[in-house]
Amino acid sequence: MKKKVFGGLLLAAVLLAGCGGKDTGSTYQESDFSASSEGSIVYMGELEIMHYSTSEESEGNGGSDGFRTVLAQWAEAHPDITLTQNILANAEYKTQIATLAAADDLPDVFFLQGMNTIDWAKQGLIYDLTEDIKSSPYAQDYNEAYFNPFMVGDKIYGYPALTGGTCTVVIYDKAMWKEAGYDRFPSTWEEVEKAAEYFQAQGVIPVAFGNGGKWQANSCFLSTLANRYTGPDWFLSLVAKDGAAFTDPEFVSALTEMQRLFHQTDIFNVDFNAVTNEDAREYYISGDAAAFIGGNWDESYIWAMLKDSDPEKFDHMGFAVLPQPADAKMAPNSQNIGLGYAVAINAKLADDPAKLEAAIDLAEYVTGPAFANYVTANYALGGLTKAAQVDLSAFDQITQDFYNWSYVDTEECEIYDSYITNAVWDVLNTDLQTMLNGDISPEEVAANAQAAYEANYSKE
Amino acid sequence: MKRNKTMHSLGRGLLSFFMNAALILFSLTCIFPIIWMGYSSLKEKRAFNADIIGLPKKPSLVNYSRILSNPDYHLSESMLNSVRTTALSIVFIIVFSFVVGYILARVSFRLNRVLYAMFLLGMLIPVHSLLVPIYVVFRNCGISNQWFTLIFPYVSFGLPMGIFLMEGYVKGIPVSLEEAAAIDGSSFSYTMWYIIMPICKPILVTIGIIQVFACWNEFSFALVLIKDVTLQTVPLALTQFRGQFASDYPKQMAAMLITMSPIVILYFAFSKQIIKGMITGAVKE
């Protein structure tokens, strides 16, 4: 009897869970845009695309939402083509796409991560899109700098996708800094150190940061800070294996300054190496911290959290670039921004020109004006293509400020881990975490990164 | 004398108290994650991020309604896929483990031990090192991304453990039982299926329990061999709640509670059998 009751419960649980219903496809916002080449594609059949814009990812994420929207538009405009989507969350996507690449079985169209470009191009896995990009109807509107991570020599292997957002922004509470005697966020670390004394006396964390995931210190701090010492050419030379080395004095100086800021000053929360960016931004939201350093994804979250729950604090949100170190000479107004993924095409499609044409059309469309206009109009974000009209008046002041800060008022620099290879960044990120605790010297970090670079990275 | 007795009784009482307190504390550490998941699933993302451990101030079922009303999550399909894949894999693992284990334990032939060692080697190979070769084999055979795809690796990787346990158990059964059956005219297969198999029921349950959990939770093969979202199993479907830079943990916990409900109910339904089976697996007489 007992078993029957439990059996019934089991069945009920399965049926209850089944209430989610059958997949009827996502609902998309109506749009005025139409696919560029509607009717001109001769290919009829299946086209497979693999990406990581899951339903969850697209909630509040402009790039992901925009991508899903324009992808649906393209599919609707090409009824003769069966667009098969394989959608996985980002971490799982990276595992599966790496397996498929190792088995030489990449999907027709997929997201290419910048750091895989050289290896996969060398193996002949990805189609050379150089001529197609040059002859694209949107070529004039492309932000050419975004192609860098997807280039090998002069050849381009992908259409940079999703939105270009900063990876290093200082979000600060204008009112709190005003009380500390600063009308705006300090432009030098010396001033921040002075302000830290005031905030510490008030029991407030001057600047919140979270490096629990290890990648944050690299993506959201070092990429920009080191650019202030090395300038942009150093990193491009490193990517091109053109002479630059992690052991160069400028880069070691950046590491030394970074260690000093985190280990010898009271600027950051003491648990910065244990908490993630998700935890650290809560310090800012709750008022326990006067500022926070993170990426555009953190800004979106803080914006959404404060807008309704704390309008006063919301109105006090300000944005700043990383302060300049005293001994740094380069680009004081720089912040790292770019597109980490590109829409790439399987090299095997070269054997099927009609299918290749459809794949290129798809790649152009989902990274073209339709996408740019959508994300600009709905999220005040930018993509590969410059938006036709940027009307910010419909957005609140904070969104307008962040758009201008991201795309107009600051200087761009590269996001390190969009390039080279994970094998190098894994070593550097682990060492950075140890270094920020004061357990390893900047010179050792640089030497280890250089060894990993020489062992794992080749230009051709 | 009386005082000594009182002291002794007090000492035993205190010892018993502390031992029970320690055991209760230990039990709580095992149960707390489930309780934490339960009440955290009633929180909004913001409330959870602000206070990870605290109780919800405004409990809400919104995470559950969002999960069950969003067709993109494929939770119902993934549960059915997991149930189907797990059930079929378990049937094959139990049948094959029993037959192979019995033959290896009872039939002496030249390569018996070599064959046994080969099966056991399967337990020593790290699954991740085989992902790409297995993917290539499956693709070339045209059996990747099908509803039955995952049954092959689950059975293959479940067999070594099953055969190991079964072979050891059968060896503990007196041979005189089969000799008596043979004298009574029982054939080899009749003896195996109708005399030995019922005796092996406890170890078969043990194998079943171990493999149900292994198959239900398996992730790597499901990730690599399945592309179609409608064929995803539960562990894969749950990854949808993680974003590139942020995760909705309360929603993820609600999804986990929904998807784990069948297996928890299954556990409670057969708890006596399961505990008996586990004891059988642990202690040999």
Which residue's entry shows tokens 């649980």? A13
Beta bridge partners of A198: none
What's the pLDDT at A14?
Answer: 32
What's the pLDDT at A64?
Answer: 87
Alpha helices per DSSP H over A86-129: 90-102, 117-122
Tens digit of each residue's pLDDT (9 = 90 or more) over B132-163 = 899 999 999 999 889 999 999 999 999 999 99
Nearest to A272 by CA among A326, A346, A221, A333: A221
| Cβ distance of B135 and A87 shorter than 8 Å | no
Among A14, A23, A89, the residue with its CB nearest the CB of B239 is A89
Model-level ipTM above the cut of 0.90: no
In the three-class reduction of DSSP (H, G, I as helix; E, B as strand; rest coil), residue A318 is classed as strand
| Other beta carbons within 10 Å of B20 | 10
Q: CB-based contact (8 Å) between A243 and chain B?
A: no
Count CA atoms closer than 13 A to A36's CA, side-chain side.
Answer: 19
Q: CB-based contact (8 Å) between B141 and chain A?
A: no
Q: CB-based contact (8 Å) between A450 and chain B?
A: no
Among A7, A56, A102, the residue with its CB nearest the CB of B269 is A7
What's the pLDDT at A141?
Answer: 87
Q: CB-based contact (8 Å) between B223 and chain A?
A: yes
CB-CB neighbors (< 8 A) of A295 in chain B: 245
Among A96, A279, A305, the residue with its CB nearest the CB of B223 is A96
| Cβ distance of B243 and A89 shorter than 8 Å | yes
Residues found in chain A: 460
Q: CB-based contact (8 Å) between B119 and chain A?
A: no
Q: CB-based contact (8 Å) between B88 and chain A?
A: no
Closest chain B CA to residue A4: B269
Contacts with B137 (C-beta within 8 Å, 6 or more apart), sequence order:
none
Contacts with B58 (C-beta within 8 Å, 6 or more apart), sequence order:
B44, B47
Among B132, B248, B265, the residue with its CB nearest the CB of A56 is B248
Show the low-confidence residues of chain A (pLDDT under 50): 1-35
| Other beta carbons within 10 Å of A396 | 14
Alpha helices per DSSP H over A123-171: 130-134
What's the pLDDT at A22?
Answer: 28
Q: Give me A453's structure tokens.
A: 């670079």
| Cβ distance of A19 and B244 shorter than 8 Å | no
Looking at the complex, report in whole angstroms how far the Cα of residue B225 sits from the nearest Cα belonging to chain A.
9
**To probe the interface with B, which of A2, A11, A23, A286 has the most B CB atoms within 10 Å?**
A23
Segment B53-66 shows an average pLDDT of 89
What's the pLDDT at A144?
Answer: 85
Q: CB-based contact (8 Å) between A82 and chain B?
A: no
What's the pLDDT at B277?
Answer: 63
Give the separation between CA A305 and CA B279, rounded to whole angstroms: 51
| Cβ distance of A90 and B243 shorter than 8 Å | yes
Give the separation between CA A344 and CA A360, rounded to whole angstroms: 9
Nearest to A225 by CA among A170, A151, A282: A170
Task: Compute CA distances A164 → A100, A145, A158, A243, whole Å.
Answer: 27, 11, 15, 29
Give the separation between CA A115 and CA A416, rounded to whole angstroms: 9
Beta bridge partners of A110: A50, A344
What's the pLDDT at B1?
Answer: 58
What's the pLDDT at A30?
Answer: 38
Q: CB-based contact (8 Å) between B230 and chain A?
A: yes
| Other beta carbons within 10 Å of B14 | 10
Q: Helix, strand, coil proportions of chain A in percent (round to 5)? A: 50, 15, 35
In the three-class reduction of DSSP (H, G, I as helix; E, B as strand; rest coil), residue A173 is classed as strand
Nearest to B158 by CA among B211, B98, B118: B211
Task: Compute CA distances A24 → A21, A45, A244, B6, B236, whole Å.
Answer: 8, 21, 53, 74, 20
Task: Compute CA distances B62 → B40, B130, B239, B255, B259, whole Å.
Answer: 12, 41, 19, 12, 17
CB A218 within 8 A of CB A254: no
Among A3, A61, A309, the residue with its CB nearest the CB of B269 is A3
Task: Give the number of A-B residue pairs with CB atoms closer than 8 Å.
Answer: 133
Euclidean distance between the first and the last CA atom of chain B, given in angstroms as a whole number: 44
Report DSSP state, residue A348: G
Q: Give me A374's structure tokens.
A: 């959508």
Long-range contacts of A237-244 (CB under 8 A, 24+ apart): A238/A420, A238/A453, A239/A148, A239/A419, A239/A420, A240/A459, A241/A457, A241/A458, A241/A459
Closest chain A CA to residue B258: A17
What's the pLDDT at B164?
Answer: 93
Surface of A (330-359) touching B: CB under 8 A? none
* pLDDT, averaged across chain B: 87
Beta bridge partners of B144: none
B210-B212-B214 Cα angle (round to 5)? 70
Task: Compute CA distances B276 → B97, B205, B283, whole Å.
Answer: 20, 9, 11
Q: Measure the CA dihedral A13/A14/A16/A22, to 10°.
A: 170
Confidence band for B127, pLDDT divided at 50, 70 and 90: confident
Looking at the complex, report in whole angstroms how far the Cα of residue A107 sits from the nearest Cα belonging to chain B.
10
CB-CB neighbors (< 8 A) of B71 in chain A: 20-26
Global pTM? 0.78
Q: Measure the CA dihedral B134/B137/B141/B145, to 10°.
A: 30
Surface of B (32-71) touching A: CB under 8 A? 46, 49-50, 67-71
Among A17, A86, A100, the residue with its CB nearest the CB of B79 is A17
CB A314 within 8 A of CB A307: yes
